[in-house]
Amino acid sequence: MKTIKYISVLFMALLTFSCTSDDETDLTNLDELTNLIKIQEISNTTHTVELYSKSGKLEQGYNALSLRIKEKNGNSFIDNAIVSWNPMMYMTAMQHSCPKSEVVKTPHKQTLYNGFLVFQMASHGSEYWELTIDYTIDGTSYSVSDTLEVHPSDKQRVTTFTGTDDVRYVLALVAPSEPKVAINDMIVGLYKMENMSHFSTVDHYSIKIDPRMPSMGNHGSPNNQDLTQKTDGFYHGKLSLTMTGYWKINLQLLNAENQTIKGEEVTNEQESSSLYLEIEF
């Protein structure tokens, strides 16, 4: 009788542990998605790739994204994949990619991978973006692909231009994403088009900033700090916003030799630069 009693107790203990482990896994997966909203799912016969962002949508400009890979024959997620992606814009007469980061495992997360994409233009009718995600799990390669809906931005968060050096550039606002009446950290990404499929980070340039409020006599603001490149590859500076409303962030792009590549200084005669970004809050 004692043997049967001990076996019964052991069985209940194992059952309880098993249930607790499943619950902990479910809670971990839920915690993985804090402050993230699903954009869409992209599937093949084996896996479903879930795509997330803070807003739950894709917009023209810089997009910080997260993804996770779910097995179709179960509820488990892959935590050891090697992931890459390739966005492509299909237009009537041509196709091109956009600036993108590598896809890496998100720090302190078990199932999430993250990176960013910079869409120069929004989806429009028959012209559309398609995202291909390639990934390898334990030496086996997989791929998923689907169209993306990229919404237009209300303000100019990204600009594409040709510099005086005949190089095609893409410049995108990364931060502030939630501007405040304060001295904000300003971050931008700067890229050059190597060809229609590849964009590289531009190194060792500098970006002068001059924020103005056109509706308020084109007044500026004090204590701004021009942008210089940091170790993360982005250009960082300080943006002073002294009141709410529409701000035009006039820019001048200078190369490593301090030569102006694009943009003009704002003066009484020159009300704005041809190179700019916009913020309204």
Over residues 210-262, the pLDDT tens digits come to 999 999 999 999 999 999 999 999 999 999 999 999 999 999 999 999 999 99
CA distance 272 to 71: 53
Q: pLDDT: is 279 or 2 the higher one? A: 279
Q: Are 144 and 151 in contact (CB under 8 A)?
A: no
The answer on 209 and 226 residing in a single domain is yes
Check: pTM over 0.75? Answer yes or no.
Answer: yes
Question: Percent of the chain scored above 70 by pLDDT?
Answer: 89
Last residue in a domain, options 151, 170, 185: 151
CA distance 87 to 130: 6
Residue 14 lies inside a defined structural domain of this protein: no
pLDDT band (50, 70, 90) for residue 182: very high
What local confidence, expressed as pLDDT, does residue 102 receive?
Answer: 98
Residue 263 lies inside a defined structural domain of this protein: yes
Q: What is the pLDDT of residues 40-62, one digit of tens each?
A: 999 999 999 999 999 999 999 99
Residue 31 has pLDDT above 50, yes or no: yes
What local confidence, expressed as pLDDT, does residue 47 receive?
Answer: 98
How many domains in the chain?
A: 2
Residue 9 lies inside a defined structural domain of this protein: no
CA distance 245 to 136: 47
Looking at every residue in the chain, the average pLDDT score rounds to: 91
Last residue in a domain, options 151, 178, 199: 151
Give the CATH number, domain containing residue 194: 2.60.40
Residue 86 lies inside a defined structural domain of this protein: yes
pLDDT band (50, 70, 90) for residue 129: very high
The answer on 272 and 184 residing in a single domain is yes
Q: Which domain covers residue 240, as residue numbers?
A: 158-280
Give the CATH number, domain containing residue 117: 2.60.40.10
Residue 8 lies inside a defined structural domain of this protein: no
pLDDT band (50, 70, 90) for residue 75: confident
Query: Alpha-carbon dihedral of residues 23, 26, 28, 29, nearest 10 degrees?
Result: 180
Q: What is the pLDDT of residues 9-26, one digit of tens each?
A: 444 444 443 443 343 334
Last residue in a domain, options 151, 175, 192: 151
SS3 category, 25: helix
What local confidence, expressed as pLDDT, does residue 30 receive?
Answer: 52
The answer on 171 and 253 residing in a single domain is yes
